[in-house]
Amino acid sequence: MNLSGLVSRLSISTRLTLWFGTSLLVLLTLFVAGLYVSVHLGLHDDLEARLREEAEAVQAHLKAHGFDLAEASSPHELRSTPGTFVRLVAPRWDITQASPAFQTRPPLPIDLPRSRTTTLQTRIWGGISAQSLYLPLENAPGAASWLEVTKLQSPIHRLLHTLRWWLALGILLGVGLAMVVGYGLAQRALRPVAALTAAANDMQDRPTGTLPTDFGAEDELTDLANTFNGLIGRLRDSLQRERRFRADAAHNMFTPLTAIQSELDVTLRSPRSEAEYRDALRAVQRHTETLSSLLDELMTLSRIEARDDRSSHTRIDAGRQVEDRIRRARQDHPEAASIEWEGSSGIEATVSPEDLNLVVDHLLNNALKYTPEEGHVTVQVAEEDGEVVLRVSDSGIGFDADAAGRLFERFHRTGAAEQHADGGGLGLSIVKAVAESYGGTVTAWSSGQKEGSTFEVRLPER
């Protein structure tokens, strides 16, 4: 298994700690490396500066006490600060004078520069790194005399070595301590996640529960829990509606099937006359048509609710389309209540003709079914606030204000509706599904029982 696979199997808090520790280690290493290099260069620059200061001091002393240019010697003993080694080198590369400090060190070979310029050289002296500054002295024309000033670099290296180990130790201890603290903070920060997980596991056995939202602070996890609680609530409502839908669908289909079965059992129990057989077959046909109509409406509703987008983006003349459906309804229901058309052509809406026909047909059938023959139905189409509004009003049985909210539920029928006429309770659900699929709305209102009702569908113009 590769490294990424191993890391992916770790807990979130462990992965956060590792990423934090690695990032901190890289940043501290880069910072400390830069600091170390800066100190290293600074110490060497300081050593060079001290060599030059020492050389200038010795040169000034030589000039003040009678320095012999030809022999590169001085009547006075060469003196230097502790840790500094000074020598005078004649033009013939002979050492004419040396400070007493050379007596404690092994011999140091002469390595004069080729050019007659001040030169800084690094070399090994007795197994220790040293820096020597060669300074040409004023002399007669010809070969040059030289002043050699040398300092050992071992104090600098010891200091850098100690600094290097302390920095490395500091990095390791700092990163380790930061990872321990970071792991504790990650565990504390992810504690609400553990609570959410435990609550979600409990909800598998008790689906009525909710996720906790009180974590001691209003943060992103609280928003997440509230969002999930809202989603869970909607899912529960959806499941309840689906259960109720299945129960209602089974009940509504079982009723005509039971009637058909009973009619057939009674008919086949004993010989019947031709007229009785015809009556039985007509009853079976009627129940079969009811069942077929119910299944057709169920398929229509399922098809509308299953589509993700508007079925059509075609702009049609809604007024003319509604007027055609009214004309057809008058022909199909000549004995029903009168239908009054209050609208005009030229009102356009972005909707498919088939969907608009579904809405108009179901609203008209609903109005005609619950309105007496001497009553009337009024259909209006208008443009209001950037929307196309379809209103179907009737003088029928009406409904109470409490029933308005459930009229568009699948299979829901008011008590007055069940007493007045047969029906499957899916027509208004189909109207609502079509309207919402186009981003529209549907509402209904009534003044009360036997006061008539109005159904309004609003569709966006575009």
pLDDT in tens, 332-371: 888 888 888 887 778 888 888 888 898 888 898 888 888 8
C-alpha span between 256 and 264 (Å, rounded):
12
Same domain, 74 and 160: yes
* Domain identity same for 29 and 139: yes
Per-residue pLDDT, 415? 61
Same domain, 322 and 285: no
pLDDT the model gives residue 26: 92
Residues 297 and 316 in one domain: no
Domain span at 331: 310-460
Q: Is the pLDDT of residue 444 over 60?
A: yes
Task: Give the residue-averaged pLDDT of 121-130.
Answer: 87
In a domain, 202, yes or no: no
Q: What is the CATH number of the domain that holds 154?
A: 3.30.450
Summarize the confidence of residues 80-86 as an average pLDDT: 86
Q: Place 140 in a pLDDT band, splitting at 50, 70 and 90.
A: very low
Mean confidence (pLDDT) of the chain: 80
Domain count, the chain: 3
Q: Would you say residue 35 lies in a domain? A: yes
Whichever domain contains 249, its CATH number is: 1.10.287.130
Same-domain status, 296 and 316: no
**Quick one: 330 and 238 in the same domain?**
no
pLDDT band at 30 (very low <50, low <70, confident <90, very high): very high
| Statement to judge: residues 271 and 405 lie in one domain | no
User: Within this chain, do residues 155 and 37 fall inside the same structural domain, yes or no?
Assistant: yes
Asked if residue 364 and residue 341 are part of one domain, the reply reads yes
Q: Give the CA radius of gyration of the chain.
A: 51
Tokens, residue 40: 């290293």
pLDDT in the model for residue 71: 53
- Under the banding of pLDDT at 50, 70 and 90, the label for residue 19 is confident
- Examine the domain organization and report whether 318 and 236 are in the same domain: no
**Low-confidence winner among 19-33, 34-48, 233-247, 319-333 (lowest mean pLDDT):** 233-247
Most confident of 238-242, 392-396, 404-408: 392-396
Lowest mean pLDDT among 32-41, 42-51, 98-107, 231-240: 231-240
Residue 167 has pLDDT above 70, yes or no: yes
The pLDDT-based confidence of 222 (bands split at 50, 70, 90) is confident
Predicted local distance difference test score (pLDDT) of residue 208: 66
pLDDT in tens, 191-213: 777 777 777 776 666 666 666 66
Last residue of a domain, one of 255, 278, 301: 301
CB 37 within 8 A of CB 60: no
Decide which of 301, 326, 357 is a domain's last residue.
Answer: 301
pTM over 0.75: no
What is the model's pLDDT at position 343?
76
Q: What is the pLDDT of residue 102?
A: 86
What is the pLDDT averaged over residues 52-79? Answer: 71
How far is it, in rounded angstroms, from Cα 261 to Cα 254?
Answer: 10
- The answer to whether residues 88 and 71 touch, using CB atoms and an 8 Å cutoff, is no
- Residues 360-382 have pLDDT tens digits of 888 988 888 888 888 889 999 98
Q: What is the mean pLDDT of residues 278-288?
A: 84
